[in-house]
Amino acid sequence: MMTAQKKHVVGQQANEKKGWLRAHKWLLLRRVSQLSILALFLAGPLFGVWIVQGNMASSLTLDILPLSDPYVMLQALMAGNLPVTEGLIGVVIVLAFYLLIGGRVYCSWVCPVNIVTDMAAWVRRKLGLKVSSPFSRSTRYWLLGLTLILPLITGAIVWELFNPVSLMFRGIIFGMGWAWMVIIAIFVFDVFISQRGWCGHLCPVGAFYSLLGKKSLIRVSASERDQCDDCNDCFIICPEPKVIRPALKGADKGIGPMIDEINCTNCGRCIDICDENVFSFTSRFKS
Amino acid sequence: MSDKQSRGASVDSGTKQVGASKATLNRRKFLGDTLKTACGAGLLGLGMGTYSRQVESTPAWVIRPPGALPESEFSGACIRCGLCVRDCPYDMLRLAELGEQVAFGTPYFIARDKPCEMCEDIPCVAACPTNALSHELEVIEDARMGLAVLIDQEECIAFQGLRCEVCFNVCPVQGDAITIEMQHNRRSGKHALFIPVVHSDACTGCGKCEKACILEEAAIKVLPMELAKGLVGEHYRFGWKQKQVAGKSLVTPDVEHRYNLPEGVSYDFNEGGLKLPPGSSQEAKASDETPFSSNPLDSLKKLQNQESK
Query: Which class is B58-145 in CATH?
Result: alpha beta
pLDDT at A4 over 70: no
Q: Is A151 within 8 Å of chain B by CB?
A: yes
Average pLDDT for residues B70-94, to the nearest whole number?
89
Which chain A positions have a beta carbon within 8 Å of B77's beta carbon?
76, 79, 81, 157
User: What's the confidence (pLDDT) of residue B288?
Assistant: 54
Task: State the ipTM, two decimals.
Answer: 0.82
Residue B11: per-residue pLDDT: 43
Q: What is the mean pLDDT of residues A66-87?
A: 88
Nearest CB neighbour to A54, from listed B76, B83, B100: B83
Q: What is the per-residue pLDDT across A77-135, written as a single tens digit (0 to 9) for each?
A: 988 888 888 888 989 999 999 888 888 999 999 999 999 999 998 998 888 887 777 77
What does pLDDT average to over chain A?
A: 85
pLDDT digits (tens, 9 = 90+) for B176-195: 999 999 999 888 888 899 99
Q: How far is CA B236 from the centre of its chain?
A: 21
Q: B240: phi > 0 → left, psi -120 to 50 → alpha, else beta; which?
A: alpha
The model carries a pTM of 0.76
The reply to whether domains B58-145 and B147-228 share a CATH topology is yes
Instruction: Please compute the mean of the pLDDT values over residues B148-166 and round it to a whole number.
Output: 92
pLDDT bin (cut points 50, 70, 90) of residue B258 is confident
Q: Count A/B contacts: CB-CB distance under 8 Å.
A: 162
pLDDT of B42: 87
Q: Provide the residue ranges of all domains of chain B, joining segments of one domain with +.
A: 58-145, 147-228
| pLDDT value, residue B4 | 42
Instruction: Tell me the pLDDT tens digit for each residue of B268-298.
Output: 877 778 888 776 654 555 555 566 677 778 8
What share of chain B in percent tops pLDDT 70?
87
Percent of the residues in chain A that have a pLDDT greater than 70, as a whole number: 97
CB contact under 8 A, A76 and B100: no
Contact A58 B81 (CB under 8 A): yes
**pLDDT at res. B149:** 94
Q: Which of residues 172-201 of A touch B (CB under 8 A)?
A: 173-179, 181-182
Specify whether the CB–CB gap between B122 and B182 falls below 8 A. Answer: no
Pick the residue from chain A with its C-alpha nearest to B135.
A84
A-proximal residues of B, 69-108, CB under 8 Å: 72-73, 75-83, 85-87, 94-100, 103-105
Check if A207 contacts B (Cβ < 8 Å): no
Say whether residue A227 is in contact with chain B using an 8 A CB cutoff. no
Q: What is the pLDDT of residue B289?
A: 59
pLDDT at position B22 is 67
Q: Do B41 and A146 touch (CB under 8 A)?
A: yes
Instruction: Say what the pLDDT of residue B281 is.
Output: 56
A232 vs A120, which has greater pLDDT? A120
How far is the C-alpha of B247 from the C-alpha of B251, rounded, in Å? 12
Average pLDDT over residues B130-143: 89
| Over residues B209-232, mean pLDDT | 92
Residue A73 touches chain B, beta carbons under 8 Å: yes
Say yes or no for a CB contact (<8 Å) between B48 and A44. Answer: no
**Chain B contact for A136, CB < 8 A?**
yes
Q: What does the pLDDT average to over B217-240?
A: 90
Q: Which residue of B has its CA nearest to A150?
A: B49
Task: Looking at the complex, report in whole angstroms how far the Cα of residue A221 sits from the nearest Cα belonging to chain B.
Answer: 31
Whole-number percent of chain B with pLDDT over 90 = 30
Interface test with B, best of A55, A86, A173, A184 (most B CBs within 10 A): A55
Tens digits of residue pLDDT in A31-51: 999 999 999 888 888 888 888
Mutate to test the interface with A, among B71, B80, B100, B102 (most CBs of A within 10 A): B80
pLDDT in the model for residue B19 = 57
pLDDT score recorded for residue A144: 92
Measured between beta carbons, the chain B residues lying within 8 angstroms of A44 are 86
Band (pLDDT 50/70/90 cuts) for residue B18 is low
Task: Please determine, for residue B71, whether its predicted confidence score (pLDDT) is greater than 50.
Answer: yes
Q: Given a cut of 80, is residue A29 above it in pLDDT?
A: yes
Segment B25-70, tens digit of pLDDT: 788 878 888 888 888 888 888 888 888 888 878 888 999 999 998 8
**Which of A66, A142, A170 is the closest to B105 by Cβ?**
A170
**B17 at interface of A, judged by CB pairs closer than 8 A:** no
Instruction: Determine, for residues A171 and B86 on separate chains, whether the beta-carbon distance falls below 8 Å.
Output: no
Alpha-carbon distance of A102 to A109, in angstroms, equals: 11
Chain B touched by A90 (CB under 8 Å): yes
CB contact under 8 A, A142 and B78: no
Cβ-nearest to A84 among B42, B73, B131? B131
Give the range among A221-225, A253-257, B72-76, B178-182 with minimum mean pLDDT: A253-257
What 3 state SS string does chain B have? CHHHHHHHHHHHCHHHHHHHHHHHHHHHHHHHHHHHHHHHHHHHHHHHHHHHHHHCCCCCCCECCCCECCHHHHHHHCCCCCHHHHHCCCCCCEECCECCCCCCCCEEECCCCCCCCCCCCCHHHHHCCCCCECCCCCCHHHCCCCEEEECCCCCCHHHHCCCCCHHHHHCCCCCCCEEEEEEEECCCCCEEEEEEEECCCCCCCCCHHHHHCCCCCCCEEEECHHHHCCCCCCCCCCHHHHHHHHCCCCCCCCCCCCCCCCCCCEEEHHHCEEECCCCCHHHHHHCCCCCCCCCHHHHHHHHHHHHHC
pLDDT over 50 (residue A270): yes
Average pLDDT (A139-158) is 89
Q: Do A142 and B83 touch (CB under 8 A)?
A: no
Third-level CATH fold of B147-228: Alpha-Beta Plaits (3.30.70)
Kindly list the residues from chain B whose CB atom is less than 8 angstroms away from the CB atom of residue A83: 129-131
For residue B128, the chain A residues in CB contact (below 8 A) are: 84
Q: Cβ–Cβ of B129/A171 closer than 8 Å?
A: no
